[in-house]
A = this chain, B = another copy of it.
Amino acid sequence: MKFTVDQIASLLEGEVVGDGSVEISMLAKIENAKEGEISFISNPKYEHFLYSTNASAVILKKGFEPKKEIKSTLILVDDPYSCFTVLLEEYHKFISFQKTGIEQPSFIGENSTVGDDIYRGAFSYIGNNVKIGNNVKIYPNAYLGDNVVIGDNSIINAGAKLYANTQVGSNCVIHSGTVIGSDGFGFAPQKDGTYKTIPQMGNVIIGNNVDIGANTVIDCATFYGDATKIGDGVKLDNLIQIAHNVEIGNNTVIAAQTGVSGSTKLGENCVIAGQVGIAGHITLANKTSIGAQAGLGKNIKEEGAQLMGSPAFNYKDYYKTYAIFKNLPDLNVRLKQLEEKVLNLPTFQEK
């Protein structure tokens, strides 16, 4: 990636102050930026970095008045932060599309079709009857079982594993080591104390614009015709457990190491923190928010509820309660003192 400051300013509809022919090859934070790099200042408290930075270009808010001499070329815009985000996205697209072609050896089964501009890394495996869209990247050692479907522009990172019949939408990113479509945890107890495995015959259906972190697991649904469903725009972090038949509404975000048990339905735009446990067969309303390490065991019907604790309840009540919990030794002492006082009361001793 090499662009002139003029080219970048034109993309951002900004005004260049200084040498617009300077070449830029990377983005960086203002305090780390080196020659050939572009940065931005949105918060005035970082202004002092502007006078010492080695960045070749800096994006600033229109109307900015420098207090000292500046080496860098400036691009003046209405909203420096959102302009920098645009550049980040462009950069992301750029590197996403660096890898193309088919490395050997790689494997593709029968009746499978792939779109244009695809990347298939070495040792990637594509089973039979797989359908892959345009601009899809399948990194090395990734596994796509039979009948898998992948939409346009999606990225399957190295060593991700998609069991047979998994469906992934467009513009998705699935990180390394993540497993999608493994058997749900279903075993029928027998009279002799053993368990019979209940075959898991459903699949996983993932919407568009979904990001899934590394080493996360999403189990398939139990019955044929059913699916574990991940809605559009959902963002899942690393090491998350999503059990069989779970449904996650659009734009819900879940942080690392959280687990959602079987058949639970999460609403849209929920925000679930890390290491949370959510019981099976419950339903969470839209915009439910759950704090870290909480354990949720019941339906949440009210939209926008904020929960903490295990078992979880309203987060404000939880904080009040926890404050007293921390002082339980004091409370216990107070109770003892009161007991002694009351026992020592003359009228009481007479009874």
Nearest chain B CB to A288 CB, angstrom units: 14
How many chain A residues sit at the interface, stated as a range, is 35 or more
**A179's contact among B177, B219, B224, B256, by CB below 8 Å, is which?**
B177
A196→B341 CA distance, assembly (Å): 59
Flag whether A237 is at the interface (Cβ < 8 A).
Answer: yes
- Which residues between 296 and 351 of chain A lie within 8 Å of chain B, taking CB atoms? 297, 310-311, 313, 317, 320-322, 324-326, 328-329, 331-332, 334-335, 338-339, 341-342, 344-348, 351
A215→B95 CA distance, assembly (Å): 26
Given contacts A277-B275, A335-B338, contact A292 B295 (CB under 8 A): yes
A26→B223 CA distance, assembly (Å): 10
Nearest chain B CB to A98 CB, angstrom units: 9
Given contacts A140-B125, A274-B259, A277-B274, contact A197 B29 (CB under 8 A): no
**A92's contact among B163, B177, B199, by CB below 8 Å, is which?**
B199
**A177's contact among B91, B107, B157, B215, by CB below 8 Å, is which?**
B215
Is B143 in contact with A163, judged by CB distance below 8 angstroms? no
A101→B275 CA distance, assembly (Å): 42
Nearest chain B CB to A313 CB, angstrom units: 6
What chain B residues lie within 8 Å of A344 (beta carbons)? 351
Number of copies: 3
Flag whether A9 is at the interface (Cβ < 8 A).
Answer: no
Is A325 in contact with B325, judged by CB distance below 8 angstroms? yes
What chain B residues lie within 8 Å of A269 (beta carbons)? 193
Contact indicator per residue, chain A 106-141, by CB within 8 Å of chain B (1) or not (0): 010000000000000111010000000000000111
A237→B182 CA distance, assembly (Å): 10
Instruction: Please name the residue on chain B nearest to A239 by beta carbon.
Output: B241
Q: Which of A16-24, A72-80, A183-191 contacts B (4 or more CB under 8 A)?
A: A183-191
Given contacts A123-B123, A141-B143, A143-B158, contact A197 B173 (CB under 8 A): yes
Is B331 in contact with A335, judged by CB distance below 8 angstroms? yes
Given contacts A179-B214, A214-B217, A257-B241, contact A313 B326 (CB under 8 A): yes
Flag whether A11 is at the interface (Cβ < 8 A).
Answer: no
Instruction: Please name the residue on chain B nearest to A94 by beta carbon.
Output: B199
Contact indicator per residue, chain A 225-263, by CB within 8 Å of chain B (1) or not (0): 110000001010111010100000011010111010100
